[in-house]
Chains A and B, each alone.
Chain A
Amino acid sequence: MRWLVIFCFFLFIAFIVPANNAQAQCISFARNIAKPQLAPFIHDGNYNATYMEEGESAELYKTFFEGEEYRLVVATVESLPKLRIRILDDQRNVIFDNADHQFAQVWDFEAKSTGTMIVHIKVPDTKQKSTVLGGCVAILFGVKANNTKKK
């Protein structure tokens, strides 16, 4: 009888707990994996992370201010392929596509004018029919800090 209870407990841990924690684990992922890639830019502090599966997409609206330099980091768990990242202007014209740059997941932007941009990300479909891959995806922005050392 005791073995039956233990067996059921492990089944519970194996199947139920991971499903519930999938979302909650993204903060650790964003903090430990995504944020360090922003250096030497300073993370703006905004938290944009979620659980995504292959084939899914998301958008982030961000105002770029004139004279500022930004670093965009899109990080995914290892099990997911590199994401397609496109930057659109407010008329939804594509002004940057990482498919033209070996699907780079880190890119810098220098704003010579102020405007709202849309970061559009897509998890590619891997065409593996047996399973659907999913995991945390974080989109973080850093701002270039000039003269940050005290004199």
Chain B
Amino acid sequence: MKRIVYGFVYLISIALISSLVYSCTCQSQKKEKSEESAIIGSVDEQLMEDFNKSKLIFYSLPSPLETAMLIKRAGATYDPDLLNDLENLSKYNTNLKMALNLGVYSADMSYTSLFDQTQNTLKYMGASRKLAEQLGILGAIDETTIRRLEENMNNREVVMDIISETFMNSNAYLTENDRPTIAVMVLVGGWVEGLYIATQLTNGSLDKNPRLIDRIVYQKLSLQTVLSLLENHQNNSDIQYLTGKMEQLKAIFDEIRIVTTSKVEAETIPEKQMTIIRSEAETFMSNEVFERLINKVVEIRNEFIS
């Protein structure tokens, strides 16, 4: 017993010394930083220094909820045939498939909620819950979430809030439990499903809904974000597979041109705590490129959900 206690005391001592050394290190780093600041001097240089030394970079993809809002505001309609069949749920038994389809079902759930398809929203929430549980994401979607959803089915604002909460919970759980690769797979699955729904709703026409086409064209920027997210985890074979798929999409998006014709201008209205951002750009996409884009999205999405 004595030996165990001494061992314990020894470990605690080591931990305490480590803590003290750590805090000393922090302070010395801080001192170095302030000395560095004194040397840098000018404000402009300091600003550049800040930009160049950012500790952390977040890449924020349009979430499935934002994508569904973008699709709806572009005047698109609801087509239940575009949703991933819930019967497919039992097929997903690898981490990759479960994560991708958690994203896919989340996107479908967002799409149904924006068009007030309450029963489908509930069903897709149930499917998302199952996949989240299989992935070991604890507490992201639980019985309370489902009950809250059922009780508020007639209030779209609350439904959207519940959906956004489940995204944040899943994403946070995975990020904070050292499973960022799964988090990225979920995001990619959701993004591809949003792109699939948007492209399918055009019925292959560039002219029918120019606003929706515009949303699709600008996914070129989101694809860059997807690739940046994937780039950070290239030691994982599933991520390498997804990178390959996204590179195939990029090859087509590279043929879509977005030409900026003016600088970004900002007009700030302080009393409204608001800034209006504008610039001018022209976009170019041929019918042939659009057709290839639609086909490639279908191919990748079908691979994800199979």
Contacts and interface: CB of A to CB of B under 8 A. Distances in A.
B172 A30 contact: yes
Nearest to B187: A46
B171 A46 contact: yes
A58 B160 contact: no
B32 to A, nearest CB: 10
A64 B47 CA distance: 24
B57 to A, nearest CB: 5
Interface in B12-29: 12, 15-16, 19, 22-23, 26-27, 29
Nearest to A147: B156
B58 interface: yes
Given A63-B222, A143-B66, A110 B277 contact: yes
Interface string A103-145: 0101111111111110010100101011110000001010101
A69 B61 CA distance: 16
A107 B274 contact: yes
B30 A67 contact: no
B56 A58 contact: yes
Contact of A55 (B33, B155, B277, B280): B33
Interface in B59-110: 59-66, 69-70, 73
Interface string B162-202: 01111111011101100000000000000000000000000
B241 interface: no
Interface of B: 1-2, 5, 8-9, 12, 15-16, 19, 22-23, 26-27, 29-31, 33-34, 37, 47, 50-51, 53-66, 69-70, 73, 116, 154-157, 160-161, 163-169, 171-173, 175-176, 214-215, 218, 221-222, 224-225, 228, 260, 263-266, 268, 270, 272-281
A60 interface: yes
A57 B53 contact: yes
B33 to A, nearest CB: 5
Contact of A109 (B160, B224, B275): B275
Contact of A112 (B33, B171, B277): B277
Contact of A139 (B58, B66, B272, B281): B58
B157 A120 contact: no
